[in-house]
């Protein structure tokens, strides 16, 4: 039986309402999100490796970091749908996946997310068997960016497009809660979205055009709070960098 926060999220599928998702890593941001009533799902993303820890990528994030931040977010947003990210090498086998997922659930996550398609099918099936609500992540996979030599848009070649479609077909039957489609060319993202049309799975895009059921942003990109790297698809709605620098100078001169 899915909890009310997840049920509310799933009920958005098939409505014309865009499913709006955002990352959060701490208590105040999570509390503001919940108080706003604007966000349908909060992801405690392993993007905290860059956004909070100052690492160059997500591969330095450990499960204990995710547990720590998931606890903070849950404290700030007790009634929201909170999704916890499984960091790299915490889901190398089905058994390890279940153990790691249970730690995030115990920290307050309602569901877990992991990166990959066909190659992590045994892990996804194990989560399904254990009745752990799960979200997939296809397209550009940040945990692989280091071995792939950088971040790149996926779906540009016919071979990449075929692999992505195949990944969707293999996970389709699992009826995941959602699947994040990150940095996929808009035509391929649209085909991927269509594969999940008759399932409960909500497609959530980031840098993948606008055909998905929902959209996810990183807190710092939305708030203009990480000026050192701004992804091309980011659409900031605030400029915290300028506001904070201004406040610091005013404090000094006051």
Q: Write down the catalytic residue from 34, 64, 148, 182.
A: 182
Which residues have CB under 8 Å from 60's CB, separation 6+? 49, 53
- 177 near ligand KIV (CB under 6 A): no
Q: Are 213 and 194 in contact (CB under 8 A)?
A: no
Active site residue 182: yes
- 215 near ligand KIV (CB under 6 A): no
The pattern of x and - marking residues 76 through 115 that bind ligand KIV according to CB under 6 A reads ---------x------------------------------
DSSP per residue, 73-96: HHHH-TTS-EEEEPPTTSSSSHHH
Can you tell me which of 88, 168, 206, 223 binds ligand KIV, judged by CB under 6 A? Answer: 206
- 116 near ligand KIV (CB under 6 A): no
Piece in contact with ligand KIV (CB under 6 A), picked from 40-48, 103-111, 150-158, 234-242? 40-48
- 216 near ligand KIV (CB under 6 A): yes
* Dihedral of alpha carbons 120, 154, 81, 51, sign: positive
Beta strand 82-85 with 41-44 is parallel
Catalytic residue ranges? 182
What residue ranges bind ligand KIV (CB under 6 A)?
Answer: 23, 43, 45-47, 85, 180, 182, 206, 216, 218
């Amino acid at each position: 039986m899915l909890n009310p926060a997840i049920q509310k999220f799933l009920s958005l599928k098939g409505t014309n309402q865009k499913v709006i998702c955002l990352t959060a890593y701490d208590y105040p941001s999570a509390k503001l999100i919940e108080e706003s009533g604007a966000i349908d799902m909060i992801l405690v993303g392993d993007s905290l490796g860059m956004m909070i820890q100052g690492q160059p990528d997500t591969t330095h994030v450990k499960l204990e970091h995710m547990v720590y931040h998931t606890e903070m977010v849950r404290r700030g947003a007790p009634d929201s749908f909170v999704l916890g990210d499984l960091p790299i090498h915490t889901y190398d086998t089905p058994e390890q996946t279940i153990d790691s997922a249970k730690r995030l659930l115990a920290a307050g996550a309602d569901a877990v997310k992991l990166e990959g398609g066909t190659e992590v099918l045994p892990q996804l099936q194990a989560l399904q068997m254990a009745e752990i609500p799960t979200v997939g992540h296809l397209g550009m996979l940040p945990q692989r960016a280091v071995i792939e030599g950088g971040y790149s848009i996926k779906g540009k070649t016919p071979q990449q497009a075929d692999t992505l479609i195949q990944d969707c077909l293999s996970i389709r039957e699992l009826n995941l809660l959602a699947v994040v489609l990150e940095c996929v060319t808009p035509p391929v993202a649209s085909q991927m979205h269509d594969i999940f049309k008759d399932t409960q799975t909500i497609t959530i895009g980031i840098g993948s055009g606008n055909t998905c059921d929902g959209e996810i942003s990183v807190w710092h990109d939305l708030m203009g709070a990480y000026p050192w790297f701004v992804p091309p698809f980011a659409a900031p709605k605030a400029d915290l960098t300028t506001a904070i620098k201004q406040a610091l100078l005013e404090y000094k001169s006051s």
